[in-house]
Amino acid sequence: MTNMNDLVIQGFTPPLLLTDFRLAAFDMDSTLINIECIDEIAAAAGKKAEVAAITEAAMRGEIADFKDSLRRRLALLKGVPVSALEQVLATKLQFNPGARELCAALKAAGLKLVLVSGGFTFFTRYVAAELGMDFVRSNELEIVDGALSGGLVMQAWGEICDGEEKRRMLLQCAEQIGARPAQCIAVGDGANDLLMMGAAGLSVAYHAKPKVREQAMVAINQGGLDRLLTLFG
């Protein structure tokens, strides 16, 4: 393991060739953006502490069943008005440092970009449009009479985008463009990203939970996402 100014590398020696990769898949909350959207929605309902505690435990890997943890959190948000989501998007959501630069550089090099999130389409639509994502998968909040029902909408692929679904999405998108898993990059911060990261040729932990940092090939512990570009010759 090598430590270069809080950029930890294990399992390979830089530089890599960007031309060896064809696809990059990203988690959204706390990876591409600065917040956990569900926690900020909960703040509007006065339940942030309760929801954030479950989120933190799930991201650390202390709650093994992500689907169960998400359902528990959503149940606490029943009745929250859609205006609370609009407020989070307008006032809380910001891109993490280097997110725009990294995505632009990868796209310029010909890579396809995938946004795969255990978060919500209300936010992934905006993030995907801003960063030029080619593929997106996330959860659809059920809204009844202008408020959250506490549930999700069933989509063609399923109801909840958990760790296994993230892995499936990465492999499905790779197959669609004729790429091998070894030609994929996966970037995340939480335990529900580990399956996706394990399937990719290059796994990157960004300001991640300890369990994720330990298992990733690259851990960016300080600085922006664009630090990843320093690994490529």
CATH number at residue 207: 3.40.50.1000
- The answer to whether residue 4 scores a pLDDT higher than 70 is no
Q: Is residue 25 part of a domain?
A: yes
Q: pLDDT tens digit string along 25-53?
A: 999 999 999 999 999 999 988 999 999 99
Mean of per-residue pLDDT scores for the chain: 95
Q: Could you give the number of structural domains in the chain?
A: 1
Q: Is residue 72 part of a domain?
A: no
Q: Nearest-CA neighbor of 140 among 152, 124, 128, 123?
A: 152
Q: Is residue 178 part of a domain?
A: yes
Domain that holds residue 137: 2-34+95-231
Q: Is residue 133 part of a domain?
A: yes
**In Å, what is the CA distance from 78 to each residue of 45, 68, 151, 154?**
9, 16, 8, 17
Residues labelled as active-site residues: 27, 29
Q: Is residue 40 part of a domain?
A: no
Q: Is residue 53 part of a domain?
A: no
Confirm if 12 and 6 have CB atoms less than 8 A apart. Answer: no
Q: pLDDT tens digit string along 186-230?
A: 999 999 999 999 999 999 999 999 999 999 999 999 999 999 999
Q: Nearest-CA neighbor of 211 among 191, 193, 195?
A: 191
